[in-house]
Amino acid sequence: MCRELLAIGNCSIDSDETFADGYTNGNFYYDNPRHPRPQTSEEIHTFIQQNMADTRQPLAWNVGFIVGWLAALTENEQRELQVQPVYIERTVSASSEAFSLLVPVFASLS
């Protein structure tokens, strides 16, 4: 049986062929345009539960699929979700003087 080294973020996984195949499929599955963005915690919970219970593939494949999907989730969300401050001018009164402040409000660019 072949072994494969999978790079995930700052780490790597020495995986068997079954896990690696599931990982690759999970990674590609994440890029399916039918999936809503952003994902809710309930959707992720359901996804993991359903895939762990799926009997069409061995457990090692299912775990690889979930890990591949999660790896794609973190890679894609980091690229898509860039946060940049937007400044709003606010007028503040202090006793008899008024002055303006630039207040940062963070907004998503995606």
Distance CA 10, CA 39 (A): 23
Asked whether residue 50 is domain-assigned, the answer is yes
pTM of the model: 0.65
Distance CA 68, CA 21 (A): 9
Asked whether residue 98 is domain-assigned, the answer is no
Q: How many domains does the chain have?
A: 1
Which range marks the domain in which residue 40 is found? 3-80
Interval 2-17: pLDDT, tens = 788 887 777 888 889 9
Interval 34-93: pLDDT, tens = 776 777 889 889 999 999 999 999 999 999 999 999 888 887 555 444 445 555 566 656
